Structure 1
């Protein structure tokens, strides 16, 4: 895909990976609409993105709600005059032991990380088809490829989003809409601030702009997926497929320290 002149809607675009993707796609000559729930953060993000005279629209909405999705798509289409790229980036996490998570926290992850992108994509498909060069980008997580303990629900919904994208890519093949799935590793974003897991536990954080650069490259190459984490992640993925018991043992050794490090990891 050539990004020059494309019209992109990025959910959760006011911070973290979403903001970095917005910066990167604007630099390629695209027009962007970002969404966010916090008006002050959204306004500041839009101000920063508009520097240099770039076309940036901001939409205050919660895409986990029906009203928020309707508002998001309606305003994006009105302000941009159509839609070529949808980036489903908004997400939330609550780590820790499953029995310590409340039902409300579990349902929030399901709604924000899985239901919202499915329903927003469904609503956006007519506009993406009309583009004749449409693209859906689903930002999942490396945990969708190698599930870590204490992230059971998060792994479930991100894994679900990944398979949703794979199925939809095949469903839309030949219809002018491509689907790409992104698997970030640990990234230095506001979502990770409450996590104390570091490199010693396998959570080596990279800058959000590095993830965004890889996403843009994937868009331009019509890639099926973008997997972050380098050789170490690739080895874990292979081990998880070939000898999952060995990976279970590795996680068993890390469990006490990991449980403590992610006990308070929450961004919902």
Structure 2
């Protein structure tokens, strides 16, 4: 896909990976709309993105709600005059032992990380088809590939989003809409501020711009997926397929420190 002139909607675009993607798309000549739940943060992000001749606007809405999804799609299509790229980036996390996690927090992860992207994509497909050269980009997580203790529900919804994208890519093959799945590793975003786990526990952080650059490259080559984390992540993924018991044992030794480090990790 050539991003020059493409009309792009990014959910959760006011910070982190979403904001980095907006910068990267604008640099390629795309026209961009970003969404976010907090109007003040969204307004600040739009100001930061705007420059000479750049087309970018913001929509304050919660895509976890039917009203928020309708507002997001209607206003984005109106502002852009159509839609070529939908980036399902908005997400939330609450770490901790499953039995100690409030049901409302579990439901919130399901709503924003899985249900919202599925329903927003469904609603956006007519507009995407009209463009003739369109793409859906689903931002999953490395935890979808290697499940980590204390992230059971987050792993479930992100893995669900990944398989949704894989199946949808095959469903839409030859129909002018491609689907790309992104598996970020640890990324230095506001979502990670309450996570105190460091590299010794498997949470090395890379800049959001590095993820965004990799996504742009993948879009330009119509790749199927982007997996971040380098060779270490690739080795862990391979080991998890070939000998999952070995991964289990590796986590046993990390569990006490990891539980303490992530027990307050919340961004919902």
Give the TM-score, by structure 2 length. Answer: 1.00
What are the within-5 Å matches in structure 2 for residues 111-126 of structure 1?
111-126=111-126
2:50 paired residue number: 50
Compute the displacement of 1:15 (Å).
0.2
Does 2:217 correspond to 1:217? yes
Cα separation, 2, equivalents of 1:176 and 1:51: 31
Unaligned runs of 5+ in 1: none
- Please give the root-mean-square deviation of Cα atoms over the aligned residues, in Å: 0.4
Aligned to 2:3: 3
Deviation of the 1:25 alpha carbon? 0.5
Corresponding residue for residue 194 of structure 1:
194
In the other structure, the counterpart of 2:152 is 152
Could you report, residue by residue, the CA deviation over 1:132-183 in whole angstroms, capped at 9, with x for unpaired residues? 0010000000000001000000000000000000000000000000000000
Alignment match, 1:233: 233
SS, match of residue 43 in structure 1: helix
Q: Distance in 1 between matches of 2:71 and 2:83?
A: 15
**1:37 match:** 37
1:86 is matched with which residue?
86
Residue 18 of structure 1: SS of its match in structure 2? helix
Q: Report what 2:131 is aligned to.
A: 131
Q: CA deviation at 1:18?
A: 0.2
Secondary structure of the residue aligned to 2:226 is: strand
Name the structure 2 match of 1:185: 185
Deviations 1:87-145 (A, max 9, x none): 00000000010011101000000000000000000000000000000100000000000
In structure 1, how many angstroms separate the alpha carbons of the residues matched to 2:213 and 2:52?
20
The DSSP-based 3-state class of the residue aligned with 1:129 is helix
Q: Which runs of 5+ in 2 are unaligned?
A: none
Q: Does 1:140 align with 2:151?
A: no
Cα offset for 1:51?
2.2
Q: Give CA deviations for 1:233-256 in whole Å, capped at 9, x if unaligned.
A: 000000000000000000000000
Report the equivalent of 2:77. Answer: 77
Find out whether 1:258 has 2:229 as its counterpart: no
Q: Distance in 2 between matches of 1:90 and 1:127?
A: 20
Moved over 6 A (4+): none
Map of 2:67 onto structure 1 = 67
| 1:105-116 paired onto structure 2 within 5 Å | 105-116=105-116
Q: Residue deviations 1:5-39, cap 9 Å, x none? A: 00000000000000000000000000000000000
Q: 1:96 is matched with which residue?
A: 96
- Aligned-pair distance for 1:57? 1.2
In structure 2, the residue matched to 1:247 is 247
Provide the C-alpha distance between the structure 2 equivalents of 1:124 and 1:102, rounded to a whole number of angstroms: 32
Structure 2 distance, partners of 1:53, 1:12, is: 23
